[in-house]
Chains A and B, each alone.
Chain A
Amino acid sequence: MATLSPGFADPVLAAQATFRGVMDAVARPCTVVPLIDTPAAPPPLCAAAAAIALTLFDHDAPVWLDPPLAQVSDVAAWIRFHTGAPIVTEPAVAAFALVSDPAGLRPFRDFAAGTLENPDTSATLILQVTTLEDGPALDFIGPGVAGRATLRAAPLPNGFAEQIIANRALFPRGVDLLFATRGSVAALPRSATLVGEV
């Protein structure tokens, strides 16, 4: 049996630092926030997504893995061992989705969007991207944004602009997106509105 790579060296303070990074990212959509302490995770799970997993996942938060992650048994084993989160194959019941291949991601509508009365019961999709700086520029307005903010993440899910517009139309329902790359995170909560050319 392969040995598991360790989680955070200091679980309490690293989880706190990672959470503050993610909280800042969600509060200020599109802003690239550094994540200082990221663990070595079994590939193709990236270190930044792994840090977010260690920070937010536990037995109360079912996790869905995209096919490239689900194919590697070490990934599920690592998540189960370090977080205790149940791994689910049905996307609609997941609180979190870990996505290593955003371009191949199934439609947002397959994930929980919450209900009008309980919109917080929606999924958070954690997309592993290769860049938060060199991707196509998409401008957003909304809560947390002074004026306009530009997202430059890549790669993005197919038909991203249309999907994000449809997701915004569901408000207050809808999924929330986190973009993780080497050492940093950015977010697109459901409240963000895409503007400009599509």
Chain B
Amino acid sequence: MTVTYNFAYLDEQTKRMIRRAILKAIAIPGYQVPFASREMPMPYGWGTGGVQVTAAILGPTDVLKVIDQGSDDTTNAVSIRKFFGRTAGVRTTTRTAEATVIQTRHRIPETPLRENQVIVFQVPIPEPLRFLEPRETGTRRMHALQEYGLVHVKLYEDIARHGHIATTYAYPVKVDGRYVMDPSPIPKFDNPKMSDSPALQLFGAGREKRIYAIPPYTRVASLDFDDHPFERWRHHCRCALCGAEESFLDEVITDDHGSRMFVCSDSDFCESRRGEATTSPEAVSLASDTETHHG
């Protein structure tokens, strides 16, 4: 006899508490709703907030995708996918287009999201003002009064020191013109994808016990200055595997002599492109390297 859990691991009372927090988070876009985060069978920092949000929304007909830094194949993604495969019996996928719920650590997929999808972000530090004001009472008051001058000072100090805004990830955004929000440590390349997205975006921070949300079709503006407008950033080259010129790239060190290559951080995007490329004659030589997944 195997040990059985409640559907999706969490008990029903916990799910209700998280569900009430999610509804308030959606009603107040960008505001961090405190919730009674539970201990999960994985350490803090491994996505306990995202896992609790996913567990509270997941149903038996959902198709779950989990990514870690864009990849479906890294430890964190594999273990969370297995966790829900085991405790909820849901179908899992690596294909962005097939998923109804996508749990992510630090990326938004390259494939545009759709209306019937929910993306759940794992968040380490949900408070964008935390390194400027260590006290929770202080940051709460700052959010209440929209006292966001300090964030702009922080960005300005970047400009004074480096000549440009040097913040590259967890780049602060303002949601629907009201709350300044930490988008989680996604590269700022992904920030524009949050604005006016057809998909619902939920954020869970387990250790810090906060849930927040961006409803679909909501304006999300990356903070900037008139003379230093927000700029996306990616390595200025093509993916070494699929040749993509628009995707976010990871630098991969290939030996101990400084050789390196740049490849898509979104593994599903890259594999799909290579899969399509096999139909064109000039790409046949590449195909033999790539027939590993989706068997």
Chain A residues at the B interface, C-beta cutoff of 8 Å: 11-13, 15-17, 19-20, 22-24, 26-28, 55-58, 60-61, 95, 115-120, 122, 124, 142-146, 171-172, 176, 189-191
Which residues of B from 1 to 34 have beta carbons under 8 Å from A?
6-8, 12-13, 15-17, 19-29, 31, 33-34
**A19-B19 in contact (CB<8A):** yes
With A13-B7, A15-B12, A58-B13 already in contact, the answer to whether A28 and B59 are too (CB < 8 A) is no
Ordered nearest first, which 7 A-B pairs have the shortest CB separation?
A189-B27, A144-B215, A116-B144, A120-B24, A143-B218, A143-B215, A146-B217
Q: Is A143 a contact of B217 with CB atoms below 8 Å? A: yes
CB-CB under 8 A from A146, the residues of chain B are: 198, 216-217
With A12-B7, A27-B215, A176-B23 as given contacts, are A143 and B29 in contact (CB-CB < 8 Å)? yes
- Majority-rule SS of A interface residues: loop
Given contacts A16-B58, A120-B31, A142-B176, 4 further A-B pairs with CB under 8 A are A15-B12, A26-B215, A120-B34, A172-B178
Given A145-B217, A176-B27, A116-B145 contact (CB < 8 Å): yes
In the complex, the chain B residue whose C-beta lies closest to that of A175 is B27
B82 touches A (CB below 8 Å): no
Find chain A residues with CB under 8 A from B143 CB. Answer: 117
Q: Which of A15, A16, A26 contacts B23 (CB 8 A)?
A: A26
Q: Which of B213-227 contact A (CB under 8 A)?
A: 213-218
B:130-166 near A, CB below 8 Å: 140-141, 143-145
Give Cα A60 to B18, complex, Å: 12
Chain B interface size, under 10 / 10 to 19 / 20 to 34 / 35 or more: 35 or more
Which B positions have Cβ atoms within 8 angstroms of A?
6-8, 12-13, 15-17, 19-29, 31, 33-34, 56-60, 140-141, 143-145, 176, 178-179, 198, 200, 213-218
Q: A13-B7, A55-B19 are in contact. Are A191 and B28 (CB under 8 A)?
A: yes
Known: A13-B7, A13-B60, A117-B141. A172 touches B13 (CB 8 A): no
Q: Shortest distance in angstroms between B283's beta carbon and chain A's nearest beta carbon?
A: 38
In contact, B33 and A120 (Cβ under 8 angstroms): yes
Q: How far is the CA of A67 from the CA of B111 in the complex (A)?
A: 51
B33 touching A144, Cβ below 8 Å: no
Residues of chain B within 8 A (CB-CB) of A24 are: 200
Minimum Cβ distance to chain B for residue A54 (Å): 10
A57 and B23 CA atoms in complex are apart in Å by: 13
Q: Can you give 5 contacting A-B residue pairs, CB < 8 Å?
A: A19-B57, A27-B200, A60-B17, A61-B16, A144-B218
Residue of A19, A24, A60, A143 with highest tally of chain B CB at under 10 A: A143
